[in-house]
């Protein structure tokens, strides 16, 4: 009998955890609301305050974005059924011009951030290069490294946010390769921690063949001038830096953006990048909403939205301190993670919070390391200080509650060995 591969063992473990979450009634839920409200969802006939969304700036229900989407559908229908390589709605050009004003640099507009990674990196990275990637970089970036490996590009995974390890690896590999690429996130999607920009950017001056590719999907909109994101709020866009971001989170529309200094590189990616040629286009509703959203980012209104969100972030940190809640990271971003431990205990706490009228993300392997599950929740402009306080008080109470409400068995030794 053939041995089960390590990859298959990991997939079975992930499947088991996901299935147990479904059985526990804490994931794969369906919102039953006849009309979505920003602060809540209805599940099983029960209204839950919803802290499991990335709509940080509260734009996805904004009437201006809705009207932009409606107008676009009236003009172009529900879907523009053509590759942009042939022809596209003129809203693409309108959106690109606004994004270029936002970033002050050439941009690309992929259908999603994932398809952006898959279109950009295999086009600009060659077998003469080497790729270094942070261990906790988003799964979609790691997915793209599998494509690069298939092209013959060596890929090395480095410890999370370890500047010394990055510098050592760059120094070791720079003389041997045409270019060294370092891939990382701006704001990490589970813990809300951030890339050490101040430590990494000086490496560009010391190593002339070093390039950075940053996924700032969770930093875009709520941070930086015109919402350029966490990376560009803390450094200028370098000639050897590419920054990708999502328009489907804080920006509230759909699609993604990739910014770079090199106009020729951007033109080449748009011309031959696989997902830019062969993937379907942004739907008209997404384009119309995105144009309206970026107009807001380019206006003075954004300053007020960013200020209000930062106030909620500060309030969350202060209330967690008051209640003695341990946070995985305290960086002032809209993303928070409360470590719990085992998945069975995490499921118990999430079920308890749902009984209290709150929904948060249960986060488990592979999103976080095995055995280090916990609660992930986010700040958005849909919620008030009182609602945040109520959530945190419920978390403090439920984590301290020893009476089990649900048991999820993850004690299978073979499954535990799947991650090595």
Question: pLDDT tens digit string along 263-282?
Answer: 999 999 999 999 999 988 99
Alpha carbons 188 and 307: distance in angstroms, whole number:
21
Question: pLDDT tens digit string along 78-112?
Answer: 999 999 999 999 999 999 999 999 999 999 999 99
Question: pLDDT tens digit string along 328-356?
Answer: 999 999 999 999 999 999 999 999 999 99
Q: What is the mean pLDDT of residues 15-27?
A: 92
Q: How far is CA 408 from CA 17, 117, 349, 371, in A?
A: 9, 35, 12, 13
Task: Enter the DSSP assignment of 187.
Answer: B
Q: Dig out the tokens for 335 from the structure.
A: 């993303």
Please enumerate in sequence order all residues whose Cβ is within 8 A of that of 284, keeping only pairs 6 or more positions apart, or say none: 69, 72, 73, 75, 76, 77, 78, 79, 80, 89, 91
Query: Is 376's pLDDT higher than 50?
Result: yes
Residues paired with residue 213 on neighbouring β-strands, in sequence order: 183, 242
10: confidence class by pLDDT, cuts 50, 70, 90: confident
Q: How far is CA 43 from CA 22, 32, 285, 394, in A?
A: 14, 6, 27, 19
Query: Is 416's pLDDT higher than 80?
Result: no
Alpha carbons 142 and 289: distance in angstroms, whole number:
30
Residues paired with residue 214 on neighbouring β-strands, in sequence order: 184, 243
Neighbours of 326 (CB within 10 A): 11
413: confidence class by pLDDT, cuts 50, 70, 90: very low
Query: Is 417's pLDDT higher than 90?
Result: no
Alpha carbons 189 and 283: distance in angstroms, whole number:
26
Question: pLDDT tens digit string along 26-82?
Answer: 999 999 999 999 999 999 999 999 999 999 999 999 999 999 999 999 999 999 999
Average pLDDT, whole number, for the chain? 93
Q: Which domains does the chain have, with CATH numbers?
A: 6-56+301-419 (3.90.1150.10), 80-297 (3.40.640.10)
Q: Are strands 361-363 and 373-378 parallel, antiparallel or unpaired?
A: antiparallel
Q: For the chain, what percent of residues have pLDDT higher than 70?
A: 95
401: confidence class by pLDDT, cuts 50, 70, 90: low
Q: Dig out the tokens for 5 from the structure.
A: 């591969």
Helix (H, G, I), strand (E, B) or coil at 293: helix
Burial bucket for residue 280 (CB in 10 Å: 0-12, 13-18, 19+): middle
Helix (H, G, I), strand (E, B) or coil at 17: helix
Q: How far is CA 196 from CA 127, 186, 224, 229, 231, in A?
A: 28, 9, 16, 14, 10
Query: Is 420's pLDDT higher than 80?
Result: no
Quote the pLDDT of residue 412: 31
Give backbone dihedrals phi and psi of 187, rounded to 5 degrees, phi first: -115, 125
User: Listing from the earlier edge strand, what are the strands of the sheet with 358-359?
Assistant: 40-43, 46-50, 358-359
Alpha carbons 244 and 257: distance in angstroms, whole number:
6
Question: pLDDT tens digit string along 160-195?
Answer: 999 999 999 999 999 999 999 999 999 999 999 999
Residue reference for tokens 């954004």: 302
Query: Is 410's pLDDT higher than 50?
Result: no
Q: Are strands 40-43 and 46-50 parallel, antiparallel or unpaired?
A: antiparallel
Query: Is 149's pLDDT higher than 90?
Result: yes
Query: Is 300's pLDDT higher than 50?
Result: yes
């Amino acid at each position: 009998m053939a041995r089960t591969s390590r990859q298959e063992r990991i997939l079975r473990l992930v499947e088991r955890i996901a299935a147990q979450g479904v059985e526990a009634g804490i994931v794969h839920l369906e919102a039953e609301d006849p009309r979505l409200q920003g602060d809540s969802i209805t599940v099983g006939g029960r209204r839950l305050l919803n802290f499991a969304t990335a709509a940080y700036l509260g734009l996805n229900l904004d009437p201006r974005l809705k009207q932009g989407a409606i107008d676009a559908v009236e003009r172009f229908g529900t879907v523009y059924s053509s590759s942009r390589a042939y022809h596209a709605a003129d809203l693409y050009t309108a959106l690109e011009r606004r994004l270029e004003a936002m970033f002050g640099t050439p941009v690309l507009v992929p259908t999603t951030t994932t398809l952006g990674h898959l279109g950009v990196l295999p086009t600009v990275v060659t077998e003469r290069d080497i790729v270094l990637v942070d261990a906790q970089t988003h799964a979609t970036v790691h997915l793209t490294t599998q494509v690069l490996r298939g092209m013959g590009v060596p890929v090395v995974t480095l410890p999370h946010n370890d500047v010394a390890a990055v510098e050592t690896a760059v120094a070791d590999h720079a003389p041997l390769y045409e270019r060294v690429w370092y891939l990382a996130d701006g704001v990490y999607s589970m813990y809300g921690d951030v890339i050490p920009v101040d430590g990494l950017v000086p490496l560009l001056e010391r190593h002339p063949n070093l390039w950075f590719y940053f996924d700032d999907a969770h930093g875009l909109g709520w941070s930086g001038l015109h919402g350029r994101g966490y990376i560009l709020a803390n450094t200028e866009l370098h000639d050897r830096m590419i920054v990708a971001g999502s328009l489907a989170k804080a920006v509230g529309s759909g699609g993604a953006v990739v910014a770079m200094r090199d106009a020729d590189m951007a033109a080449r990616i748009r011309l031959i990048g696989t997902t830019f040629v062969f993937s379907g286009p942004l739907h008209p509703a997404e384009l119309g909403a995105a144009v309206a959203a970026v107009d807001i980012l380019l206006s003075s209104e954004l300053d007020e939205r960013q200020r209000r969100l930062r106030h909620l972030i500060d309030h969350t940190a202060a209330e967690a301190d008051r209640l003695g809640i341990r946070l995985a990271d305290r960086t002032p971003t809209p993303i928070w993670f409360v470590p719990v431990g085992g998945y069975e205990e995490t499921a118990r706490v999430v079920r308890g919070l749902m009984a209290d009228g709150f929904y948060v993300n249960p986060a488990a392997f592979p999103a976080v390391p095995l055995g280090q599950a916990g609660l992930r929740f986010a700040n958005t402009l849909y919620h008030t200080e009182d609602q945040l306080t109520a959530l945190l008080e419920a978390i403090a109470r439920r984590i301290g509650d020893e009476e089990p409400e649900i048991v999820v068995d993850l004690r299978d030794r073979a499954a535990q060995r799947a991650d090595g």
